[in-house]
Structure 1
Amino acid sequence: MPGRVFLTTPVSRIAESLGLSAEMGDDPPRWNIQPGQEVAVLTPDGLIRMRWGMIPVGRVNARGRPVMETIINARSETVFDKSAFDGVGFAAVPVNGWYEWTGKARRKTAWRIRPADGGLLWFAAITDTWAAPGGRQVPQVATVTCAPNADVQDIHHRMAVILEAADLPAWLEGDTDTRRSLSRPWPEGRLVIEPADDVDWQAP
């Protein structure tokens, strides 16, 4: 499941492809986007910046206990049913790919996963707003995961739910049954997996 992603396509080009205005402005290519940082997010209101990672203040589990850990990824098998996700919004995160690691601690191998056609991937996501100290409102996002496809299963037991561009409106504004039907592994053969030893993992 994605814990680091990268986005090298300019946001203005993404906005243009969607028929939207590029009000966010462009960033330099970002090869190592980490949880806690801002990412571009497509919502029903357009492209905006959100913090990756949902601080679940006020959210409780089925037993009524507070959810304590920051939510980076939400499982598609439970996101539509768990009380901790009541009232979330739905969005999509554009990326050019993500990273996974295999091997033992201190001897791990980093892998880059990207689309074979070199284009964008749209990660299904959920959103909410954290009321931070001082009254600041922080929009935040978590990606949605599912079982891996055959391309990914040898390096991780989960992968992001990836949406076709044509299915974005259905995820953003469809009903629960429609979103469930879209929460499936990406078709095999459409991803490339390669070593990612050229990334500075200490860099922000």
Structure 2
Amino acid sequence: MCGRFEQSETPRYYADALSAHISKQLKTLGDNSPSYNVAPGQRPWMIMLHSGELLFIGMNWGYRTPKEAAEKKKPWICARVEKSRTGSYFRHMFSEGRVIIPSGGWYEWSLENGKKQPWYITRRANAPIFMAGLTNFRPDVEQTVETGFVIVTEDSGAGMVDIHDRRPVVLEPEDALAWMNPDTPVEEAAQIAQTRSISTEQFVWWKVDRAVNRVDPNNNGKHLLVPINESA
């Protein structure tokens, strides 16, 4: 379902991949640093299309209602594409808060000899990953509730790495822009998310070091993506 992901490139890199080359189309709100091990509760970039401009916003990964926050419940980090449009929980976000979470890849886990073994999943092509997301954040609006985003997931069929039945909805640049566009009708956005996600065959995955399992600001480097040598 994507419990961690990598986001190590610059906003300009992701914007160029979306064919947003004009500098006035790119704004960043807040500071951010490259991360090879983004975890829930951290604040990676999310991309929002607002007034014709790409906004890169450092935003908390996770969402909960004010009632859940008061009860100190754990935030949701993902939303099922099948229910996010019509279900009462995420419906308001699907209408006004469609965003993209840029990445190079994400992690999944298998259980081996009683231990959690991480795998890194990325595109076969040398291209970024644009994950569909939803947020309750609204630009230019003063908000008194917690704001955050969730990643939209779909059924992964046989499963990536054959270990999990859910995976992020990953879109090509053209579909990512249409998904973010507030002028895209909700019905069309739903069709994009449900039918245009990049197929499993366009991804590759490999085992990586169990250091990924540890969430630590000092445990955040490119070495986390290196395939482990199982024969060593």
> Do they fold alike, i.e. is TM over 0.5?
yes
Partner of 2:87: 82
Segments of 5+ residues of structure 1 without an aligned counterpart are 60-65
Deviations 1:3-47 (A, max 9, x none): 100012222322344233353587543111000000111112222
> Residues 158, 137 of structure 1: CA spacing in aligned structure 2 closer, same or farther, 3 A cutoff?
same
- Residue identity (%): 25
Alignment of 1:45-56 (within 5 A): 45=50, 46-56=55-65
Structure 2 unaligned regions, length at least 5? 218-232
Contact 2:8-2:36 at 8 Å conserved across structures: yes
- What is the TM-score of this pair, normalised by structure 1? 0.82
Cα shift at 1:117: 1.5
> 2:154, 2:212 → 1: CA distance?
28
**What are the within-5 Å matches in structure 2 for residues 69-108 of structure 1?**
69-88=74-93, 89-103=97-111, 106-108=114-116
Q: Quote the Cα distance in structure 1 between the aligned partners of 2:119 and 2:161.
A: 13
Q: TM-score, normalised by structure 2?
A: 0.73
Q: 1:112 is matched with which residue? A: 120
Distance 1:195 1:182 in 2: 31
- Cα pair 1:11 1:25 within 8 Å, conserved: no
Letter in 1 for 2:88: S
Let me know the Cα RMSD of the aligned residues: 2.8
Aligned equivalents of 1:55, 1:183: Cα separation in 2? 22
Aligned residue number for residue 228 of structure 2: none
Aligned to 2:221: none
Alignment of 1:178 with 2:184, yes or no, is: no
Higher mean Cα deviation, 150-159 or 162-171?
150-159
Q: Output aligned runs, 1:18-33, within 5 Å.
A: 18-19=20-21, 20-21=25-26, 23-24=28-29, 27-33=32-38
Paired residues of 1:12 and 1:22 also in contact (CA < 8 A):
no
TM-superposed CA distance for 1:176, in Å, is 2.1
**Contact 1:144/1:160 (CA < 8 Å) preserved in 2?**
yes
Instruction: Note the 1:140-179 alignment, pairs <5 A.
Output: 140-150=148-158, 152=160, 154-172=162-180, 173=182, 174-179=184-189
Report how far residue 124 of structure 1 moved. Answer: 0.3
Larger CA deviation: 23-32 vs 156-165: 23-32
The answer on whether the counterparts of 2:45 and 2:59 sit within 8 Å (CA) in structure 1 is yes
Distance 1:200 1:75, change over 3 A: closer
Structure with bigger helix share is 2
CA shift digits 1:86-112 (9 cap, x unpaired):
321110000000000011684121100
Match of 2:8 in 1: 8
Q: 1:129 to 1:55 in 2, by over 3 A?
A: farther
Q: Which amino acid aligns with 2:2?
A: P
> How many residues are matched?
194
Quote the Cα distance in structure 1 between the aligned partners of 2:9 and 2:34.
Answer: 7
Q: Which residue of 2 aligns with 1:63?
A: none
